[in-house]
Amino acid sequence: MIKNKLRPRLLALLILLPLALQAQNLSIGNGRFQKGDNPAWNTFAYDDSAWQEVSLTDQPWESLGLESANGIGWYRIHVVIPSSLKKGVVEAIMLDLGAIDDSDQTWVNGHLVGKDGTFPEDPGGYSSEYGKRRHYVVDPKWVRWDRDNVIAVRVYNYGDPGGFYRGSVKVVKPSLKDFAKLSLVAEKGGYKAVLATSVGTTGSLKIDVSDVITGAPESSKTQKVNLSAWKEKQVFCPLAPQKRLKVTYTDPRFPEILEAEVCAPYILTPPAPATPRYNGPAVFGVRPGSPVIFRLAFSGDKPMKYAVEGLPEGVVLDADKGVLSGSCAVPGDYPLVFTATNDKGSAQAQFTLCVGEDKIGLTPPMGWNSWNCWALSVSQEKVMASAAALINKGLADYGYAYMNIDDAWEGEERTPEGYITANDKFPDMKALGDWLHSNGLKFGIYSSPGDYTCGGFLGSLDHEEQDAQVWNSWGVDYLKYDWCGYSKVFDASRDKSEAALIRPYLKMQQFLREQPRDIFYSLCQYGRGRVWEWGAFVDANSWRTSHDIVDTWESLYVTGFERQPGLHPYAGPGHWNDPDMLIVGKVGWSSSLRDSRLTPDEQYTHISLWSLLAANMLIGCDISQMDDFTFNLLCNNEVNAVNQDVLGHQAHQDVVEDGMQIWSRDLSDGSFAVGIFNLNEASVPVQLDGALGIIGLNAPTVRDLWRQKDIPTDAIYVIPPHGVLYVKVK
């Protein structure tokens, strides 16, 4: 794709990049491991010489050949900590343990230094913190400088993987950030800036307000701070709508700066015109003879009348709903012209209906999945509420069509003949499927190749054929097939072959293909065995490339920016890399929902990256409670058009430098979509033509996809922390 001709350091283009602290650190490769539990195992003196020697880097229990069952295991890590790490302003060290699945307690030489997540014996029981990176500051008085120290880590794991599974174990010199925290707490009319510290600090606190859309500065105030250890300073900062607040703290003894920034959710997507406008994909594919289910995605005032020219025999249009149904027996590419008319005007769109054996999933699936909002509390009523809102709030006018039920629909028992049943929360699956289809929406379901699913419901093991038949009878159009429970029936340490990973997926594929309808086949095994290299071989239409996403910056960062680079060669029409479902809107993985914990800027980053990645766009929130901000994120027709581009070329990561990343992909109209991401904790001004020049692109103006307007490239654009500038370059 783009060839870098000239590659000056990106730093030269960033006017004000904050000084990054180079932490001194000591990496620890190995430790000792023992399953089971014993209170004596946290002591310094315990003799662990008989324990198993294990690697601590990206090696969960399973890949160490250990049993993956739920339970407790201990690591004991022996490390000589050099006194050189002690020098500096504050005489402490910090443990950076990477991520641990699920909860841990950590001791240094017998002294508890940290705990994340809770254990089954804790009041309130077990809760996981598997996605969180463990950072524990250690009091210098517990450290045996220049001699053997013992770091003991007690881990509780529920489901696989278990233990140290991401990142490596390090002892590092902490920075100001580890002793002082600057946060912004929402209050009526603004935010309270809170500076809390565990060491004494003298410095200055700066409060800046700017316009959230244009970035223009509005006011700036600085005040002196003098705090003794364990004290807090609070300052109220008023914040009007459409403004961005930035608070900065500097203590001249430390090289780094503390920063916190907030803004209210802000809408960039211009409202859709009242006249009809087509926002859907340019193609849709179906196998010969399979039911056609397609809803024409036109925004604009309703009611609308629809017409389609060029329909092949057997395919019919509901002219009031704009829904295509029927089937077509004869393979071929059928050029169609869609027309939509309302009382404000009329619009047309060119479209191709592709009929052929390998023609399903030609663009990434768009729709909804119940997991990130309702998790195990999903019910037919809740699915219907989101489906109705998908139509009534207008998301269906942007191509969102799949309504996918995740885990927890399964009944407790199969029928005496072995057929799967739905539980009481789903009184009529067939009626649900029929209703969805009558509105041009599609019906998705979930299962596991194991005897039980991740959530403890019945899986498909030894009933694959019967399950596929039942789903067909309900009208299922999408299957998410989740490895999870299969770990309990298959011993991964015994057979590490690729064939063993493929076997359960190939088995279900055969039965899905026997059904007289198209079932989009979505693999969910978190990227094991480089699934992207063989997913197409099992006829999968998409495959999860990473572990479960949650609504935190850390999770978005790891899932999007660490796990996806390099996967672009494997995506294309009919088969997509799936970085997991969306985490915008009201989510919660339970019956009680909350607003996504991502900042507004992080949410723009999330959707821009998924658009670039040609990712499955499965909304994870309750659509019936969706606000205007979330709608603006999900229903920007120009952003979605990149995701749905018919070439299906997933973006690749072109530049990673100084906390900035540039990703780009080429599009069917000869242009490029480019995301310039600022993964730093502070805003970064970027000279746009310079940044585009690094990837060999050059144009006087580009299209700002979120604002949907042309912008000059010979200008500086301030990209907020964890934010993005997303453009299209002709």
| Contacts of residue 674, Cβ cutoff 8 Å, sequence gap at least 6 | 662, 663, 664, 692, 695, 697, 702, 726, 727, 728, 729
Site for ligand GLA in 410-439 (CB under 6 A): none
Nearest to 232 by CA among 275, 268, 196: 196
Closest distance to ligand GLA from the beta carbon of 85 (Å): 38
Stretches 99-107, 453-461, 513-521, 674-682: which one binds ligand GLA (CB under 6 A)?
A: 453-461
58 preceded by a cis bond (ω within 30 of 0): no
Stretches 246-254, 285-293, 429-437, 451-459: which one binds ligand GLA (CB under 6 A)?
A: 451-459
What tokens does 500 get? Answer: 């063993």
Q: Is 178 a catalytic residue?
A: no
CB nearer to ligand GLA: give 457 or 631.
457
Strand, helix or coil at 551? coil
CB nearer to ligand GLA: give 365 or 675.
365
451, 548, 595, 689: which is the annotated catalytic residue? 548
CB nearer to ligand GLA: give 445 or 725.
445
DSSP state of 572: B
Residue in 455, 560, 588, 648 binding ligand GLA, rule: CB under 6 A: 455
# chain residues binding ligand GLA, by CB under 6 A: 11
Report yes or no: 106 and 95 within 8 Å, Cβ to Cβ.
yes
CB nearer to ligand GLA: give 26 or 376.
376
Closest distance to ligand GLA from the beta carbon of 220 (Å): 45
Q: Does 268 bind ligand GLA (CB under 6 A)?
A: no
CB nearer to ligand GLA: give 265 or 529.
529
Q: Does 454 bind ligand GLA (CB under 6 A)?
A: yes
CA angle (91 as vertex; 90, 92 as ends), nearest 5:
100
Closest distance to ligand GLA from the beta carbon of 454 (Å): 3
Closest distance to ligand GLA from the beta carbon of 555 (Å): 13
Site for ligand GLA in 174-193 (CB under 6 A): none
CB nearer to ligand GLA: give 136 or 374.
374
| Beta-bridge partners for 422 | 410
Q: Does 360 bind ligand GLA (CB under 6 A)?
A: no
What tokens does 322 get? Answer: 């704009």
Q: Does 451 bind ligand GLA (CB under 6 A)?
A: no
Q: Does 453 bind ligand GLA (CB under 6 A)?
A: yes
CB nearer to ligand GLA: give 250 or 447.
447
Q: Nearest to ligand GLA by Cβ — which residue?
A: 454
CB nearer to ligand GLA: give 331 or 456.
456
Residue in 77, 484, 699, 719 binding ligand GLA, rule: CB under 6 A: 484
Separation of first and last alpha carbons in the chain: 14
Q: Does 726 bind ligand GLA (CB under 6 A)?
A: no
Q: Identity (one letter) of the amino acid at 562?
A: E
Q: 């619009």: which residue's tokens?
A: 347
Q: Identity (one letter) of the amino acid at 214?
A: T
- Half-sphere exposure for 276 (CA within 13 Å, toward CB): 23
| Beta-bridge partners for 673 | 665, 728
Stretches 293-301, 450-458, 600-608, 707-715: which one binds ligand GLA (CB under 6 A)?
A: 450-458
CB nearer to ligand GLA: give 451 or 689.
451
Rama region for 109: left / alpha / beta (φ>0; ψ in -120 to 50; rest) = left
Report yes or no: 316 and 324 within 8 Å, Cβ to Cβ.
yes
- Write 435-439 long-range contacts (CB < 8 A, 24+): 435/384, 435/387, 436/387, 436/403, 436/475, 437/291, 437/293, 437/325, 437/475, 438/321, 438/323, 439/295, 439/321, 439/323, 439/387, 439/391, 439/396
Parallel/antiparallel/unpaired status of strands 366-369 and 169-172: unpaired
Q: Where are the beta strands (DSSP E) in 64-157?
A: 71-80, 93-101, 103-108, 111-116, 133-138, 148-157
Q: Does 482 bind ligand GLA (CB under 6 A)?
A: yes
Stretches 185-193, 199-207, 448-456, 502-510: which one binds ligand GLA (CB under 6 A)?
A: 448-456
Q: How far is CA 446 from CA 76, 293, 460, 502, 522, in A?
A: 39, 20, 10, 18, 9
CA distance 60 to 175: 29
Closest distance to ligand GLA from the beta carbon of 375 (Å): 7
Residue in 171, 373, 458, 524 binding ligand GLA, rule: CB under 6 A: 524
Please provide the DSSP assignment of 478-540 as one string.
EEEEE-GGGGGTS-TTT---HHHHHHHHHHHHHHHHHSSS--EEEEESTTGGGHHHHTGGGT-
Q: Does 704 bind ligand GLA (CB under 6 A)?
A: no
Residue in 208, 406, 551, 658 binding ligand GLA, rule: CB under 6 A: 406
Closest distance to ligand GLA from the beta carbon of 455 (Å): 4
CB nearer to ligand GLA: give 175 or 448.
448
482, 518, 551, 580: which is the annotated catalytic residue? 482
Q: Is 333 a catalytic residue?
A: no
CB nearer to ligand GLA: give 406 or 704.
406
CA distance 178 to 92: 10
Closest distance to ligand GLA from the beta carbon of 385 (Å): 20
Q: Does 371 bind ligand GLA (CB under 6 A)?
A: yes
Closest distance to ligand GLA from the beta carbon of 374 (Å): 11
Closest distance to ligand GLA from the beta carbon of 372 (Å): 8
Q: Does 407 bind ligand GLA (CB under 6 A)?
A: yes
Site for ligand GLA in 538-577 (CB under 6 A): 548
Q: Does 116 bind ligand GLA (CB under 6 A)?
A: no
- Write 230-234 long-range contacts (CB < 8 A, 24+): 230/197, 230/198, 231/196, 231/197, 232/194, 232/195, 232/196, 232/197, 233/194, 233/195, 233/205, 234/192, 234/193, 234/194, 234/195
Closest distance to ligand GLA from the beta carbon of 407 (Å): 4
Give catalytic residues, as residue numbers. 482, 548
> Which residues make up the interface to ligand GLA (CB under 6 A)?
371, 406-407, 446, 453-455, 482, 484, 524, 548
